[in-house]
Amino acid sequence: SYDIPVSLTIEPPDSVGQPKTSATPTPAKRMRAIQSVKGYVLPDPEIPNRLTVWFTGGKLSPARLASDGDGGETDDEDQSDYNHQTAAARKAGDLNDDYGDFENWKAMFAKGKWRKTLGERARAMAAKLLLGADVPNKMEEDGHMEYVLHRPVGGHGKVYVDVLYLDEDILIMRGHHGTIYAMARSGVSQRFRAIHGNRQSNSDGHSCID
């Protein structure tokens, strides 16, 4: 699989100098969200260390906090980790009440707010015809909205990543637009900090690992 979760903030239009539009759901407060792009990869048949990517859909979900009253738990592992990080930031005072909660999210994406313009309806119809897209017309009970591409986007020579480095803990890749992606297994950064700290604490100035 090639699933990419991205944390983001949905800003109220007036906070970024944009007017409100009746056809677009807009938040009264800043909203934290998780946007996930779903896909899969296969080895390129001609170029070693290249993986071809096909995208099959995506999902937008609220980054629900433990203070929302339901424990902030979710079946999505990436979102769950983000929930705990955000809740810790709120507890530490790094997050303030300018951010909306799940009730604000539901108010923003309530079914009555889904009024598409003619151009938006035309684009949705084109996506359905060309890509076999199932586009959501409502929000699910847990707040997420998901779309599916029955004819995946991508393919050999079009969308790909080149594996530059790989070991048991670290993966470094370069995308077809030149973007560098560096990924580490959970716990690697903590081990690196522990090793780095032990080296700095060595009193005789020599590098060593306890």
Q: What is the pLDDT of residues 49-78, one digit of tens each?
A: 999 999 999 999 998 644 444 433 444 544
Q: Which two tokens stand for residue 35?
A: 């946007």
What is the chain's mean pLDDT, rounded?
A: 75
Mean pLDDT (whole number) for 163-190: 85
Rounded Cα–Cα distance for residues 117 and 139 (Å): 18
Tell me: pLDDT of 129 over 50.
yes
Higher pLDDT, residue 71 or 40: 40
The rounded Cα 175 to chain-centroid distance in angstroms is 17
Q: What is the mean pLDDT of residues 80-88?
A: 52
> Over the stretch 8-24, which tens digit does the pLDDT of each residue have?
888 888 776 777 766 56
CA 104 – CA 145 distance, rounded (Å): 16
Determine the Cα–Cα distance for residues 105 and 166; give it in Å rounded to an integer.
Answer: 39
Q: What does the alpha-carbon distance between residue 153 and residue 159 come to, in Å, rounded to a whole number?
A: 9
Q: Say which range, 93-107, 131-145, 172-186, has the weakest mean pLDDT.
A: 93-107
Round to whole Å and give the CA distance between 101 and 32.
9
pLDDT exceeds cutoff 60 at 79: no
What integer is the mean pLDDT of 33-54?
A: 94
d(Cα 103, Cα 110) in Å, to the nearest integer?
Answer: 10
pLDDT digits 0-9 by tens, 148-163: 999 999 999 999 999 9
